Chain A
Amino acid sequence: DQQVKQNSPSLSVQEGRISILNCDYTNSMFDYFLWYKKYPAEGPTFLISISSIKDKNEDGRFTVFLNKSAKHLSLHIVPSQPGDSAVYFCAATFRGANNLFFGTGTRLTVIP
């Protein structure tokens, strides 16, 4: 049972525009959420996270929004750059869990 879902397998965006990647979750116990970025044949690297006590967290061009009532979070990348082209994984966890629960990933392509 997939507790973290990324329903868009791929997204294409023009360079300079906004990229919005979405993630939904079903487990109401989740209280910490993370985004990872992954290039082909490499391990994922941590990008940004948010605690459930917040609804927004910003880090440079990257902003994560959390809507707890809708069990939905999104990652905004502004402006998008060709180097942002990668697979983005949403992940979630809760206190006492032993691991992160990952979504299936969204492949972002930024077109120059």
Chain B
Amino acid sequence: DGGITQSPKYLFRKEGQNVTLSCEQNLNHDAMYWYRQDPGQGLRLIYYSQIVNDFQKGDIAEGYSVSREKKESFPLTVTSAQKNPTAFYLCASSMQGRRTNEKLFFGSGTQLSVL
């Protein structure tokens, strides 16, 4: 089955700790994205990558870092600089083509909470 796998489903972070959220896709998609969802808010873009070894900041990149060493993988690190990390994090991917941003395919998400 093709899809996007996010792990873990639930993650707890201690103050001052960096944590990494995993995202793997086997859809052969070129573009990958990280979104954050807070209660009562829409999805906000953290980082995106349109090709291996390249990524761009989204609207709320401060306190986060990413890497794209493989086409299939786009891990997100929530650093200690992110002061309000509690949220639901969604990874997505899309085909590269005429438009890279249509029809995003989402993973099932990671709920990050601060201890």
Are A104 and B40 in contact (CB-based, < 8 A)?
A: yes
Distance in angstroms between the alpha carbons of A9 and B101 in the assembled complex? 25
Q: Mark A1-26, 1 if CB is under 8 A from B, else 0.
A: 01010000100000000000000000
- B42 → chain A closest CB, angstroms: 4
CB contacts (< 8 Å) of B100 on chain A: these are 98
Are A98 and B42 in contact (CB-based, < 8 A)?
A: no
Are B111 and A93 in contact (CB-based, < 8 A)?
A: no
Distance in angstroms between the alpha carbons of A2 and B105 in the assembled complex? 23
Are A46 and B103 in contact (CB-based, < 8 A)?
A: yes
Knowing A43-B106, A93-B102, the reply to whether A103 touches B42 (Cβ < 8 A) is yes
How many chain B residues sit at the interface, stated as a range, is: 20 to 34
Q: Mark A70-108, 1 if CB is under 8 A from B, else 0.
A: 000000000000000000010001010111101111000
A-B CB contacts (within 8 Å), total count: 63
Distance in angstroms between the alpha carbons of A42 and B89 in the assembled complex? 10
Residue of A nearest to B99 (CB): A95
Instruction: Give 19 A-B pairs besides A89-B42, A99-B33 with Cβ atoms closer than 8 angstroms.
Output: A2-B42, A32-B99, A34-B102, A41-B109, A43-B4, A43-B107, A43-B109, A44-B90, A44-B104, A46-B104, A93-B99, A93-B101, A93-B102, A95-B99, A99-B45, A100-B101, A100-B104, A102-B44, A104-B41
